[in-house]
Amino acid sequence: MSIEVESDGMELLAKTRHDRDNLQLGKAATPYAIEVNVVLKDGVDSNNAVVVKHRLRHSLTISVLQNTTNITKEYSYINVVEMQTFEKIPTLDLSWTNQDDTRREPLLAQLRHALVDVGFLYIVNHGVPDNIISDMTAVLPILFSLTDVEKEQIALHNSPHFLGYSAPGAETTAGKADQREQVEFATELPSDWAEGKPIYERLRGPNQWPASLPTLKPIVQAYIDALTSLSERFLGLVAEALYLQVGGEDGTNPLQPFLSDQHRLKLVRYPAASAGADGEVASQGVGPHKDSSGWWTFLLQASPPHIKGLQALNREGVWIDVPVVAGSFVVNIGQAFEVVTGGLCPATTHRVLAGPYERFSVPFFQGVRRSLTKEEALGTLKNQLLCSFPGHFGGRNGPDDGSLSKEANEGKQIDSAFLRGQYDTWGESQLRTKIRSHRDVGKKYYSDVFHKYAHDN
């Protein structure tokens, strides 16, 4: 059987109820990647189907074969979404945002492209004062040249809130040790957890400050304050770019209720790559990952432009360099935002390669409300986004369909612990992730749930 579908734009939706169908897309010849997503009627996703694609000059034929031998299933629909890949990271100039002029619309269109097709962008003219950035940049080498004893005094394993210093190799990503050391901070908050409150509330709590570097605290706090404001302002633009309606009389941004009172900040140092005892050069600064701990990430690459390392994975599986752009922040989407937008806005996979030079960076992770449930995350914006972006949303992202990502296979391997996991709130899924990455902290402060989280695969 064969179905002719007219393509009038970016999305095509064809309904079919046969084991093997050919879908002919009359006007689908474009330079873009085509994604085929098959959702089986019983909710099993396209991993259980074989998808064969042929692309001719002006038409596209997609054959979908069912490869399950012992179960009979019907396709509920085939959703074909035309997607752009990217070759470079777009740049957005925020100096226009406060003006009500004709350049606002093109800016929102650029942002929409970055949100939907790339998941990564630079922002320039962002309004964060120069001294906030230069103070931060200057203090990084001083912080990391503290002695091992001084670093140990603020070690992450002292903190039930997972805040503090981790040595190189302490974290693994994609099965390999990351060659970076880092100090994690968060919005300074007291710990107010007590028996009877949700366990994830223990994530909230004070920072550890190095006694021998008293200038660090005001620099980090001023930086967190500035980035908190910038990230909230940016969220207003994102809501506008996605055509989300502002709510209530006070014009609340519909994305604001997803935010936490606690944002996280990491100060990171990648040592220059050098050969180990075996002669091998460890090339992984941080392995391929999606940002799992926040809503949006705002990254300062705090090294000169000739120092490279950061790369983003495009839809065709090619690693694209994200070089240092003076005066910019790199902004990328976190997994929670991908979930809330039903995969419309991808949490693009990225990594850092270790290079011949030492490199510093400062990612700010805009926090997600710990009490956010999966139901809220998947349901709150669905109808609005479905109206504005039909075809991008429903087909891929039924609540039981964990396959949100419109991306290359390498990125698809990265799990969304929140969506696929058995814990209902963002906070609990975060706590589980943290305990699994820092087992020493888990055993020390969370002994009653450690076993459950560590072995719940």
* The dihedral sign for the CA sequence 226, 251, 339, 46: negative
Q: Which is nearer to ligand AKG, 126 or 266 (CB)?
A: 266
Q: In the complex, what is the shortest distance from the CB of residue 297 to Fe ion, in angstroms, rounded to a whole number? A: 6
310 binds, among Fe ion, ligand AKG, none (CB under 5 to 8 A by kind): ligand AKG
Q: In the complex, what is the shortest distance from the CB of residue 426 to ligand AKG, in angstroms, rounded to a whole number? A: 17
Question: How many residues sit close enough to Fe ion to count as binding (CB under 5 A)?
Answer: 1
Q: Is 354 in the site for ligand AKG (CB under 6 A)?
A: no
Q: Is 299 in the site for ligand AKG (CB under 6 A)?
A: yes
Q: Is 363 in the site for ligand AKG (CB under 6 A)?
A: yes
352 binds, among Fe ion, ligand AKG, none (CB under 5 to 8 A by kind): ligand AKG
Find, among 431, 416, 434, the residue nearest to 374 by Cα.
416
Find, among 289, 312, 260, 315, the residue nearest to 417 by Cα.
289
Tokens of 275: 């050969």
Residues whose CB falls within 8 Å of the CB of residue 215, separated by 6 or more in sequence, listed in order: 139
DSSP state of 109: H
Q: Is 227 in the site for ligand AKG (CB under 6 A)?
A: no
Q: Is 274 exposed, middle or buried (0-12, 13-18, 19+ CB in 10 A)?
A: exposed
Give the containing element (helix H, strand E) for 33.
strand 33-40
Q: Is 431 in the site for ligand AKG (CB under 6 A)?
A: no
Q: Binding marks (x or -) toward Fe ion, 255..294, rule CB under 5 A?
A: ------------------------------------x---
Q: In the complex, what is the shortest distance from the CB of residue 94 to Fe ion, in angstroms, rounded to a whole number? A: 22
Q: Which three-class secondary structure string do you get for 301-365?
A: ECCCCCCCCEEEECCCCCEEECCCCCCCEEEEECHHHHHHCCCCCCCCCEEEECCCCCEEEEEEE
Q: In the complex, what is the shortest distance from the CB of residue 375 to ligand AKG, in angstroms, rounded to a whole number? A: 27
Q: Which is nearer to ligand AKG, 353 or 404 (CB)?
A: 353
CA distances from 386 to 95, 111, 240, 294, 379 (A): 31, 19, 15, 24, 11
Q: Which is nearer to ligand AKG, 170 or 286 (CB)?
A: 286
Kindly tell me which residue out of 310, 339, 368, 435 binds ligand AKG, with binding defined by CB under 6 A: 310
Q: Is 286 in the site for ligand AKG (CB under 6 A)?
A: yes
Q: Which residue is nearest to ligand AKG (CB)?
A: 361
Q: In the complex, what is the shortest distance from the CB of residue 334 to Fe ion, in angstroms, rounded to a whole number? A: 9
Q: Which is nearer to ligand AKG, 60 or 313 (CB)?
A: 313
Q: Which is nearer to ligand AKG, 331 or 435 (CB)?
A: 331
Distance of alpha carbon 170 from alpha carbon 157, whole angstroms = 11
Q: Is 291 in the site for ligand AKG (CB under 6 A)?
A: yes
Q: Is 143 in the site for ligand AKG (CB under 6 A)?
A: no
Q: Is 184 in the site for Fe ion (CB under 5 A)?
A: no
Decide if 355 contacts 309 (C-beta within 8 A). Answer: yes
Kindly tell me which residue out of 350, 406, 434, 438 binds ligand AKG, with binding defined by CB under 6 A: 350
**Bridge pairing between strands 2-5 and 21-25:** parallel
Between the two ends of the chain, the Cα-to-Cα distance in Å is 41
Q: Is 117 in the site for Fe ion (CB under 5 A)?
A: no
Q: In the complex, what is the shortest distance from the CB of residue 350 to ligand AKG, in angstroms, rounded to a whole number? A: 5
Find, among 137, 108, 168, 139, the residue nearest to 388 by Cα.
108
**Phi and psi torsions of 104, nearest 5°:** -65, -45
Q: Which is nearer to Fe ion, 298 or 389 (CB)?
A: 298
Tokens of 67: 């490869």
Q: Is 338 in the site for Fe ion (CB under 5 A)?
A: no
Q: Is 78 in the site for ligand AKG (CB under 6 A)?
A: no
Distance of alpha carbon 315 from alpha carbon 398, whole angstroms = 22
Q: Is 361 in the site for ligand AKG (CB under 6 A)?
A: yes
Neighbours of 36 (CB within 10 A): 18
* The dihedral sign for the CA sequence 164, 170, 176, 181: positive
Q: In the complex, what is the shortest distance from the CB of residue 350 to Fe ion, in angstroms, rounded to a whole number? A: 6
If DSSP codes are grouped into helix, strand and coil, which group holds residue 56? coil
Q: Which is nearer to ligand AKG, 149 or 326 (CB)?
A: 326
Q: Is 352 in the site for ligand AKG (CB under 6 A)?
A: yes
268 binds, among ligand AKG, Fe ion, none (CB under 5 to 8 A by kind): ligand AKG
Q: In the complex, what is the shortest distance from the CB of residue 268 to ligand AKG, in angstroms, rounded to a whole number? A: 5
Residues within the interface to Fe ion (CB under 5 A)? 291
Residues within the interface to ligand AKG (CB under 6 A)? 266, 268, 286, 291, 299, 301, 310, 350, 352, 361, 363
